[in-house]
Amino acid sequence: MNQLIGRLSVLAVFAASAEFLPAAGPLFDMETIRDRSTLEIKVIKNWHEVSGPVNTRRKTIEIHVGDLWEGRGLRVPVRFIVPADRKAKGFHLKGDLRAGSLDTDFRLKEVDLELLNGGVGIVSTVITAGYPSKELQQEMRERFHQTLNPHFLMEYWGWPAILMRAITAAHAEQDHFEPGKIAMSGRSKRGASPSIVLNVDSRTTGLHAAASPIAASPIRLCDTKAWTALENYDLAGKSRRPNQTLPFSGVKSHFAAGGMYGLNHTPNLLKAGHAWKDLQQLAARLKPHVFISENLDQLTARKIDMLFHPGTHDYICYDVPWIGTHDPQIPVYLKVNSSHGGKDDKTLDPGQANLSAFLLNHFFDDVPDLLSPPKINHQIVKNRLQVTVTFPANSKSETGNIYWMYDRPPSASRDYLTDKFPEENRQVMIHSAPDQWVTTIDLEAGANHIDVFSTHRKSISRGSTDYSTYLSSPYTRIPTK
């Protein structure tokens, strides 16, 4: 009993002391984010030269990101890498720095060497669970569950703020960086956090993200009809991944599927006493900040480069059918049966090098453009599905491969995550015109709908190196009855 009283007292303090953001308005104070005078820089390893395939200068610092609450600041390390013989013009921003290797001058990936050789810098910081400590992140989650203040979650405020403050820190190094493009890349939390940054920080110019949210589907917006339909489906079978109890049915499900943006906090938020309308209001407030789909007009006006690898079976980006139907203009590559931990490499798309080609094209004028999203059309004639995929003129797509599945389970359900595209449901398309691919599929009797998507290659060259790039048609669900 004493433990329970103590626990309730702590939660009461959380609720009473929470520094609530305004009921509406921006999630970030961008003037504060860009203020170099508040970085409170501590030098971990000052500028020094490192010899290698490309000679570089490097520096590692620690910066003040912001205050989580009164008396609790957030500080993170940031590493800068620039060419040894000149200032860097723009940089590639990543969240892959490991806090345990701050003094190590590690080897760089091939694409980063190419960027540095061309005068582009590399900026890295720490975006990871458990940093600065697991205890701090647990306390932040508990504060969020009690207050619904998104400032208390790393996925909504902390990680994006870290990336933006790293940009500010790089811009403060005026002897080593000059203004230029800023492209971000990453997977999972390191892809989701840059998506928020791209939406809210006009300093950024490009993003390649994998296994991360893209669009605001009904489940993400806490639509109770969508949730009820999902749980009614899940009630029909036994749990395969019993990590978390769903709020309506009591069925155990994956801990992330169904989340607004990252992990699924909905059951804990309801348990803490919040109503569905509270969750819906929170989702509506966060929607314009966190989802790429809600910012396409302003991103287009800024001439942003984007490419996403959402995965066909991912528990964070669990709503690929919604994206294909409602946001087909967003460029995505769908590797069949791919997910956070998936190991199915049986694909018709060998040698995929999208990230390298994306970054090189973004920063350098001598690299050809990648494919732009095509349109997909279909018709059913005598139990045969005819599919046509058409690219913009002169796209120069080289291959066309199509995948399909009958009666795929609902997005975010257990079966959506586990039922794979059958290996026999894959075939090569016919190149019927310079920018067009077609195929015909004999429909299976008794199916209610068929999900289809295609993938297409374009080879990109820079110097003596060739890169195989791939883009998918919009994921499409077609009624068959």
421 in a structural domain: yes
Give the mean pLDDT of the chain. 90
Give the pLDDT score at 255: 79
Q: What is the rounded CA–CA span in Å between residue 80 and residue 59?
A: 5
Contacts of 5 (CB under 8 A, 6+ apart): none
Whose CA is closest to 196, among 299, 98, 118?
299
Reported confidence tier of residue 98, pLDDT bands at 50, 70, 90: confident
> Quick one: CA dihedral 152, 153, 158, 161, positive or negative?
negative
Question: Which domain-ending residue is among 150, 170, 185?
Answer: 185
Mean per-residue pLDDT, 426-445:
96
Give the pLDDT score at 25: 65
Q: What is the rounded CA–CA span in Å between residue 92 and residue 362?
A: 10
Q: Domain residues for 11?
A: 1-185
Reported confidence tier of residue 253, pLDDT bands at 50, 70, 90: low
446 in a structural domain: yes
- The residue type found at 66 is G
175 in a structural domain: yes
Highest average pLDDT, of 40-49, 240-249, 347-356, comes from: 40-49
Q: Which two tokens stand for residue 268?
A: 């804990």
Strands 121-125 and 72-83 turn out to be antiparallel
Q: What is the pLDDT of residues 214-225, one digit of tens each?
A: 999 999 999 999
Question: By percentage, how much of the chain surpasses pLDDT 70?
Answer: 89
Q: What is the per-residue burial (b if ≥16 Cβ within 10 Å, else e) of 167-178?
A: bbbbbebeebbe
Give the pLDDT score at 8: 34
Question: Which domain-ending residue is among 185, 202, 222?
Answer: 185
DSSP states along 61-77: EEEEEEEEETTEEEEEE
Whose CA is closest to 384, among 465, 449, 440, 433?
440
- The residue type found at 122 is I
Q: Is the pLDDT of residue 1 over 70?
A: no
Do 480 and 450 contact (CB within 8 A), yes or no?
Answer: yes
The three state secondary structure string of 253-322 is ECCCCCCCCCCCCHHHHHHCCCCHHHHHHHHHHHHHHHCHHHHHHHHHHCCCEEEEECCCCCCCCCCHHH
Q: What is the pLDDT of residues 119-170, one digit of tens each?
A: 999 999 999 988 888 899 999 999 999 999 999 999 999 999 999 999 999 9
Whose CA is closest to 342, among 450, 455, 187?
187
Do 148 and 278 contact (CB within 8 A), yes or no?
Answer: yes
410 in a structural domain: yes
Q: How many CB atoms lie within 10 A of CB 393?
A: 7
132 in a structural domain: yes
- Cα-Cα-Cα-Cα torsion 339, 305, 205, 465, nearest 10 degrees, comes to 80
Do 181 and 160 contact (CB within 8 A), yes or no?
Answer: no
Q: What is the rounded CA–CA span in Å between residue 75 and residue 106?
A: 22
Q: Residue count of the chain, please give it.
A: 481
Give the pLDDT score at 210: 97
Instruction: Give the CATH number, domain containing residue 448.
Output: 2.60.40.10
330 in a structural domain: no
User: pTM for this structure?
Assistant: 0.92
Q: What is the pLDDT of residues 168-195, one digit of tens each?
A: 999 999 999 999 999 999 999 999 999 9
Euclidean distance between the first and final Cα of the chain, in Å? 59
Question: Which domain-ending residue is among 144, 164, 185?
Answer: 185
Mean per-residue pLDDT, 310-335:
97
Give the pLDDT score at 246: 60
Do 80 and 90 contact (CB within 8 A), yes or no?
Answer: no
Give 108 or 291, the one with higher predicted confidence.
291
Question: By percentage, how much of the chain surpasses pLDDT 90?
Answer: 78
* Cα angle, residue 377 at apex, residues 371 and 382 outer, rounded to 5°: 145
440 in a structural domain: yes
430 in a structural domain: yes
Structurally, how many domains does the chain consist of?
2
Q: Is the pLDDT of residue 245 over 60?
A: no
Give the pLDDT score at 476: 98
**Helix, strand, or coil (residue 169):** helix
Q: Is the pLDDT of residue 5 over 80?
A: no
